[in-house]
């Protein structure tokens, strides 16, 4: 089972800076393999389905056929999946915020505070890219 891990980040908005936490799921070897197999299978399944679309199948079938192992490899390489950033809004210093992030997120990340809509820059303190 994936283990939850927390990494320190900095939330910036203008001159204001606050500490935040990046929540990530660290995947086991087995989970990484399953995730890779799922995306590989999905791509090859789409290659099979698009086989019956006239003319487009000349592009889609080889495209999905090649995308399968490529996407599978990229998924397998991802050892940890970022889920959300939590902390106190740097603009409105009282609100506790939780910002959902995509698995392929790259830091520094410009986003918006979900409560007051102020722009927030999320900087990874360790400056280590996840994934």
Site of interaction with Zn ion (CB under 5 A): 89, 91-92, 113, 115-116, 118
Q: Across-strand partners of 111?
A: 120
Instruction: Return the structure tokens found at 26.
Output: 């660290």
> What is d(CA 129, CA 131) in angstroms, rounded to the nearest whole number?
6
Q: Other CB atoms closer than 10 Å to residue 70's CB: what's the count? A: 12
**How far apart are CB 110 and Zn ion at their closest, in Å?**
14
- Name which of 18 and 35 has its Cβ closer to Zn ion: 18
> What is d(CA 84, CA 95) in angstroms, rounded to the nearest whole number?
16
- Name which of 36 and 113 has its Cβ closer to Zn ion: 113
Chain-centre distance for alpha carbon 7: 15
- Name which of 22 and 113 has its Cβ closer to Zn ion: 113
**How far apart are CB 31 and Zn ion at their closest, in Å?**
34
- State how far the alpha carbon of 49 is from the alpha carbons of 15, 44, 45, 103, 125, in Å: 53, 9, 6, 27, 45
- Name which of 71 and 118 has its Cβ closer to Zn ion: 118
Instruction: Return the structure tokens found at 121.
Output: 């820059």
**How far apart are CB 102 and Zn ion at their closest, in Å?**
20
**How far apart are CB 89 and Zn ion at their closest, in Å?**
3
């Amino acid at each position: 089972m994936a283990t939850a891990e927390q990494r320190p980040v900095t939330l910036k908005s203008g001159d204001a800076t606050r500490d935040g936490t990046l929540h990530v799921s660290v995947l086991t070897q087995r989970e990484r393999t399953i995730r890779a197999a799922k995306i590989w299978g999905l791509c090859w399944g789409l290659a099979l389905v698009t086989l019956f679309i006239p003319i487009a199948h000349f592009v889609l079938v080889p495209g999905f056929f090649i995308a399968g192992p490529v996407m599978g490899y990229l998924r397998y390489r991802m050892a940890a999946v970022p889920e959300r950033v939590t902390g106190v809004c740097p603009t409105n210093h009282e609100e506790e915020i939780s910002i959902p992030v995509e698995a392929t997120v790259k830091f520094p990340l410009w986003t918006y505070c979900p409560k007051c809509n102020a722009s927030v820059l999320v900087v990874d303190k360790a400056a280590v890219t996840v994934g």
